[in-house]
Structure 1
Amino acid sequence: MAIGLLNCPNHNVWHVAERLSCGMLEEVDELARLTQIVNALGPSIVRVTHSMPDLDPEIAGLVIHDELRELRPTSAGLLLAVGVCPAGEPWLRLLERAEAGGFGCVAVKTYGIGERQIAEAAGSGSIPVLLLADEVSWEQLIALLSSAISYSRPAGQGDGGNSLGDLFTLANAVASAIGGATAIADPARRMLAYSTVDGQLIDDTRRQSILDLQVPTDPQIVAEYQAVHSAPGVIEVAGRGTDLPRLATSIRAGGELLGSMWVIDPGEQERELACRRLVEASNIAALHLLRVRTEREGLHRRRSDLLTALLAQADVPHDVMKRLALPATTNARIAALALAEIPPETEPTAAVHQVLDLVTLHCQGELGFSAATAIDDVVYVLLPAPPGRARSLQQRLLAGVAAHVRRSYGYRLRIGAGGEVADLKDAARSREQADRVIQLMGLPSRQSTRTTTTDADIVFAEDVRPQIALLHLAERCPVADRAMDETINTMAEYDRSNNSQYLPTLSSYLQAHGDIAGMARALHVHANTCRYRLSRMKELFDVDLTDADARLVMALQLRLRDLVA
């Protein structure tokens, strides 16, 4: 098995099954805790019943229940109730025997029975019950659980300790055991790990994949990965050109695809053994990927909660930069991503969370860091701003997110980036600016400030500072009150009733700072027409364009009128 490749031969699934069906557990000084095992595997493989006692028992290893054999008392064993339906009298008897025998836990498949019904059947017993995914085979469950127990022990204990190491350790172990260079990729064909065993043959595709940390997007290679992802076992991939032939298998936990493992084909004589070992190794890779994903999801959730508190100006820890894994001297900005267009059948809340997932993915890939959250119908992301080309990097990242969202889901985004702040406790100010930018982008004016693509409009706050200030003014200043602009209202009503153009003429005059030739060009009329309208404006509306204060107030009223329309 895969752990056998890591010098842990007693973790071979069938060897484990033979030993544990007899209740044989090795003796170790320190044991794994049940919660560690559950966290390592994640909710897609195992979950705890709501009725589980408030216990965290130590687990030494697995014992397979056999109805035709006596259940021997075993301290700290995890009993696998193979073939037992978790309801009825046989189930209750098994729980009683397991509790009396000193077992730490009983694990069972639900076989379609609801969790509440299983909990009620278990009653008030004091032994924890774990529910295993029905779609995962017992063989794979044995491998995953055995590996999780071994991995969860303190380093140096038992036969496993921390022997799983990381994916690079696993790749090297597989390459040594099979005799071919090994690589592990995620479902998006990103390179997660690769072997570094001296003397093994490699080819240009492997070399390029390692350099780019991404498998080339050649259509033939993409098709090969799709075939591996959908195949139930190992497939042989023929060599093309200078590429060497390979053996490959998907890495799965139940029905969920976690990635794939590729090995240079060691040759026909070794192929059968290599295929077996490759399948076995995929179980260990599945465990590791599940553990990494669980840790990463927990980290993202903690960062999301911290970012939400920052944006709401709630109390945050004094070491907020450290908790977000940012250098203390790093400036940052908040970007807001709002849905501009989505297909009519799409549920908006689901769309927002899809955007959030992709933002997190891109930030992790581009920056090695991610802190994003969804508030109402907007996704907010914290973008570090290191000195130098910060804005160009942020622009590229946001454009990449928009393109991915458009390609994957058909959504078009409106993206506003707030100003940089030196202290994250001022993040709320950057968020407010990002919101203002989004608000401005909903207006038809100021198109020149946008970076417009087929996927999104992207605007940075520093490019629209005057417009942001006017929005503030429109909400807070009495000059924006409709009751205060009687002249403007009267002029607008007169234009509607008489099909005249006095209000556009006044607006052009103020924007051109009194330049008659300039306003005539803007209005597409003769300069004398402009002069005539200005003189009539004085007669009809008592407008004094020689008064600087009057000009300032009317200019503000006209601009704010457009903003709040």
Structure 2
Amino acid sequence: MPEREGTVLREVVDALDTAVDWTVIVDDVAPVEDVSLIDADDLAAGGRVVTGLVAIAGVDAERISEWLTSVDAARRPHAILTKAFPGAARARSVADEFGVSVVGVHAQARWDRILGLVQAELHRGREAVGRLGVPDAAADIDLIGLVGLVARGTRGLVSIEDATSAHVLAYSPSNGEADDLRVQTILGREGPPPYLAVLRSKGVFDAIRRGGEVVDVPADDQHAMRRRLVIGVHSGTGRHLGSIWVQEGAVGLAADSADVLTGAASIASRILTRAGQAPSAEAQLLQRLFGEHGGVDASSAGAYLRWPVDARAAVIGVGIHGGEAVAADAVAAVSGSLRLHASAYAASALTTVIGDRAYMLVPAADVAPIARWVGQLVARFDGDPALGGGRLHAAVVFPVDGLADVPSARGEADRVFSATRSSAADRVTTLAKARTAVLLGEILEVLADRADLVDPRVSALVAYDAERNGALEESVRAWIAAHGNVRDAAARIDVHPNTLRYRIQRARQVSGLDLDDPDERLLTSLQLAMIDRRRG
């Protein structure tokens, strides 16, 4: 198959598969070089200069028509993706009047999934692929090419999911033969709960995580589910990367389908490993903008990313607290959704993932509206299975007075995370709010590296408690926190004031500390904080 110059609309529609409800196509070979998401605020501002494909979210059909009327013909997209029209009939008049194809997106489809599928179609290579099973096939094939080969080899409907089973990375055409589980998965929704419970009871998901075996899942007439084969995909080091599913279609699966899947899992492992190690040029540039890989010239980055070099902005770091998922994997799994919501908030927003955190650069004139939006953003992901029971938290740094300040702003966000990692109370924290915690944490970190700065008097106090199961340390902490007020301190730890007086006196004797001296109280507080840090 010869390499082609680019992607056309027909290929994008085919890639969306069951996520497409209906189409009104003006030109199915119209070139599609890019895709962008716009909302009501973008339309109110006159929209953006676009040449390819536009996804329009949260806008009704009448407003879409008004926008197309206001846009010069040269600036109109070749096609729009929308949920606004109830069917093809009303969309046809738009197509006839403006010469723009309209693709009706299924009402249950998630926009982040739609954009991800389109972007994958736009960026995938168009080179010829070899036969499945050739050792070097992974060097000349991508996931979309792989699902095509597996579909031909098994005669089934193929999909490749990520490690969380929450995102479909690639899939073959359904040809009207998809059952409800496949349809819902492609739409970005969770499959039918009763059938998912059946899969769990059969140990299917456990087998996927273990990898190495093809699991044959028989048809389930009760839930209208067809037979499936599935295998987990793992890296050479055993890391779970995803899974390959094959649903039986109108014809039975080929007899050697299990062998085909075993070979496909090996190839998918190399593709996914290579993809993780070789981000796109734009992804690398974004990471450099945030200070990775030696950084980047702000003017060059601004020109490429179409971002004003001196525009005021906010840097937002997003991480995860709690849960069973590996932090880096969990954040990476929701990074597409984070990028989608950031782009919906501000069309020019930039998003990248570095390590176990996502970072966003958003234009901003004031911190308050940014903090409110970020609070709503992290709450959107509560209960997302990709987070493994954890919750997203964010650090906001404002102001950032230009692209040259982005790396240092990211560093400030990291300082906030480091200072607040033991407390998950605040979902969104600004540097201003966390200043005391940040500075105190960093002071303690410096002190922790100096064994000669450990006060033996406080160490003696702690050792006394350890040997006798005492409570002198607790009492001293409460007394200092209450500024020497015995009654308040006693109430803090629920003891009689006389008991507290005795303990403080005993602490003085054991340690030799003069707790009436303000300098010694300050030193004792720092020493106790250092102990807390060592205890974790």
TM-score (norm 2): 0.49
TM-score (norm 1): 0.47
Larger radius of gyration: 1
